[in-house]
Amino acid sequence: MVLELQRRALTAAVLTILVVGTFFWLPWYFFSALLLVMTGCIVYEWSTFARHLPILWMLFPLYPLFPLLLLLALSAQPTYRPLFPYLLALVASHDTIAYLVGARWGTTRFAPTISPGKSFEGCLGGFAGTLIATWLVAKVFGYHVTTHTLFWLSVAVSILAVTGDLFESWLKRRAGIKDSGTCLPGHGGLLDRCDALLFVGVFFYFMREVLSVLLLKV
């Protein structure tokens, strides 16, 4: 368990440095290029699913391709690009805290046939993580976020993140595989790491105007 946590932590740290460094310290098109590379990797991993369950190619245009294209579109729009720190921080904090709380205190399983590791305790921890992340991002960037916005955004992100995770777990069970790939030690494949991000990313894209007003005050 300790070794697994160390591997997950190291991989998450490297991935975080790569994403954050590219977003904040390089021209915008480098981050878009990184998303494009990630898209290619996820498409390649999807072929693993399809080899085991060919009918999944019918789903491919809707998931994961459509959410990935929306993330690329969001990153290329200067007005809405500042939403990315919120998007990444909320999803990462939800997944991390949910995993830690679920691993330590999770006893009430709610989807044992799809994802045996998912627990109500972990979900509550993930919700708390999104609350904290939203508040911290707002403080760091000097934005004021109301308590009402903080709460409901965290609810929406938590529900979508869990749904995305469960959906990908269901696909893997249908295909008879454990992980989408092996490129991220301790996490599996890139799609395993981005399953929640894809669902939340769709929400951010279609709510981008509202979120820009609520979070960025533009």
Nearest 5°: phi and psi at 157? -65, -40
**Enclosing domain of residue 96:** 2-216
Instruction: Dump pLDDT digits (tens) for 117-151.
Output: 889 999 999 999 999 998 998 888 888 888 889 99
Number of structural domains (the chain) is: 1
* Tokens matching residue 112: 């044992």
Euclidean distance between CA atoms 156 and 18, whole angstroms: 27
pLDDT category at 186 given cuts 50, 70, 90 is low
Would the pLDDT of 109 be above 80?
Answer: yes
The pTM of the full predicted model, rounded to 2 decimals, is 0.92
Euclidean distance between CA atoms 60 and 42, whole angstroms: 11
CA atoms within 13 A on the CB side of 51: 8
Instruction: Dump pLDDT digits (tens) for 12-26.
Output: 778 888 988 999 999
